[in-house]
Amino acid sequence: MTIVYISIALVVCALIYLGTSAFRTFKKAKPALQDLQETANRIQKQTEGIQTETTKLTATQEKIMSDVEYKKQTVQTTIEIAKETPETLKSFKEFLPAKKNERFTHKVRG
């Protein structure tokens, strides 16, 4: 019977030692856990900042692309109009006098 009491006392002592060891370990680990939490919060804020910048860059890229497309269309339209210029000049020849001494007269089609 004495062995049973000694065993129970030994188990109780082991449980008390386990509790105090766990409490000390938790107490020592608490600052490290807080540091890890703070680091995680900083990383989260940086990630949010990067996402915000990414969104802004995407919007800026879309504006630039639309501006480039507009300017491209403008240049193409200008080139098309410039290609039509020789035909327009040919039609103006009808209104120019044939000789230097002639006065400017308009020819009326009819």
Residue 90, token pair as written in the block: 């040919």
pTM greater than 0.85: no
Q: Is the dihedral of CA 13, 14, 20, 21 positive or negative?
A: positive
Rg, C-alpha atoms of the chain: 45
Mean pLDDT for the stretch of residues 35-62: 96
pLDDT value for 81: 87
| pLDDT tens per residue across span 78-106 | 999 888 877 777 777 776 666 555 555 55
Give pLDDT, residue 40: 96
- Give, in order, the Cα–Cα distances in Å from 33 to each of 24, 29, 42, 46, 82: 14, 6, 14, 20, 72
Residue 65: closest CA among 53, 54, 73: 73
Residue 31 has pLDDT above 60, yes or no: yes
Q: Residue ranges per domain, the chain?
A: 2-95
